[in-house]
Amino acid sequence: MLSEFIRKFAKDERGAALIEYTILLSLITAMLVIFVVIVSDWMSDEWSDLNSGLEDCSANPNAGNSNASDNAAENAACNSAANNSN
């Protein structure tokens, strides 16, 4: 009796497609979650960099007007921020 049940259960394929689609859906969902986490971390870093650059410009409003070569990156960031705000 038990061996007959096991034999029938092994041959029954009615739920196989559902299980396959469930596994496929879970893999796609996991990949989307990983993608969103990676992109959100990157986006957060970009916004933080932009915010700190704008804070530096607002703390020193004349930074974009300086011609000193040692502040070239700061001048470029402040000039860019000023041009984007107009």
Q: What is the pLDDT of residues 64-85, one digit of tens each?
A: 555 545 455 556 666 665 555 5
Residue 22: per-residue pLDDT: 92
| Position 50 pLDDT exceeds 80 | yes
The tokens for 3 are 């061996």
User: Tokens for 14?
Assistant: 């009615």
- On the CB side of 59, CA atoms within 13 Å amount to 7
Per-residue pLDDT tens for 3-15? 888 888 778 777 7
pLDDT of residue 81: 53
> What is the average per-residue pLDDT within 49-66?
71
Q: What would the mean pLDDT of 32-38 be, rounded to a whole number?
A: 95
Q: Which residues lie below 8 Å from residue 82, measured CB to CB, with a gap of 6+?
A: 57, 64
Tokens of 7: 């034999």
Which H or E element spans position 71?
none
7-11 long-range contacts, CB within 8 A, separation 24+: none
